[in-house]
Amino acid sequence: MKLLKRVCLSLGVLLVALFGAHIAWTNSGSNEWKLVSDQDGIKISALKSPGYRLMKYKVNVRFDSELPEVLFMLTDLDTGKDFGASDIKRIEEVATPSLFYAYDTYKLTLPKPFGQVEVVLLNQCYEDPKTKQYHINIYAAPNRIPRAGDIPRVVHLSNNWTLTPVTGGVDVESVSEMDLGLPYVLANLAMPEVIGSQIKAMREVMKTDRYKNGKPVLLSSSQTP
């Protein structure tokens, strides 16, 4: 009986400590970007906002590729196949000389034991005529199509890309935040490495013929290859 009381007391103390740590972490944050990784020309910064458990991440990198290749990689539907997505479908697409947007859906398999998640996204791409930068904004659109089955659907995701053509390549900045349903401690610890690996993979796939020969749906006539 004494042993049971000690175990219960220890568990109670542990739960109180964990709850206190959770509250302290949630309320913490400076709202300032802090560099967390700088490797292979890939700079990753993190930002913690008070009241929010997950971190935001910013990537700055130069791709040694032409603008059409980068645009094609970030807007083509089948790019997802090279990054682990399955059941990829385009729900709707609108392409004009100045604006492209599309609703896409796919499934993503997370590491065990978390299983699959379903993602429904709005992809928007446009050129700033003054700066000649391209902006690609990606947002979760969980209510765009009816749910089917029991696979969890991502409800919070945003990824904003800015592409700046420079001599010999494209300067890229990406600001992202997402909730894939993972425990926030695990997500915050793993995300910098995951982001860095994805950027390295993007560099590699753009060396292949599919991306070198790809024609992006949105490209001003002055920059047509």
Structure tokens at 215: 């024609």
Give the DSSP letter string of 96-148: -SSEEEEEEEEEEEPSTTS-EEEEEEEEEEEE-TTT--EEEEEEE-TTSS---
My answer on whether 126 and 68 are in the same domain is: yes
Number of Cβ within 10 Å of residue 59's Cβ equals: 21
My answer on whether 6 and 52 are in the same domain is: no
Distance of CA 140 to the CA centre of its chain: 10
My answer on whether 13 and 60 are in the same domain is: no
What is the tens place of the pLDDT at every residue in 82-93?
Answer: 888 999 999 998
Q: Using an 8 Å Cβ cutoff, are 175 and 151 in contact? A: no
**Which domain range does residue 10 map to?**
1-30
My answer on whether 178 and 204 are in the same domain is: yes
Structure tokens at 47: 């930002």
My answer on whether 12 and 37 are in the same domain is: no
What is the tens place of the pLDDT at every residue in 142-200?
Answer: 999 998 888 899 989 999 999 999 998 999 999 998 887 777 677 777 788 888 999 99
My answer on whether 11 and 121 are in the same domain is: no
Nearest to 126 by CA among 91, 161, 92: 161
My answer on whether 68 and 171 are in the same domain is: yes
- 14 versus 131: which is more confidently predicted? 131
My answer on whether 10 and 96 are in the same domain is: no
CATH number, domain of 137, equals: 3.30.530.20
Domain count of the fold of the chain: 2
Task: Kindly tell me if the per-residue pLDDT of 222 is higher than 70.
Answer: no
My answer on whether 41 and 24 are in the same domain is: no
My answer on whether 38 and 138 are in the same domain is: yes
My answer on whether 104 and 206 are in the same domain is: yes
Could you check whether the bond before residue 113 is cis, i.e. omega within 30 degrees of 0? yes
Give me the pLDDT at residue 14, please: 39
Task: Kindly tell me if the per-residue pLDDT of 133 is higher than 90.
Answer: yes
Band (pLDDT 50/70/90 cuts) for residue 225 is very low
My answer on whether 44 and 119 are in the same domain is: yes
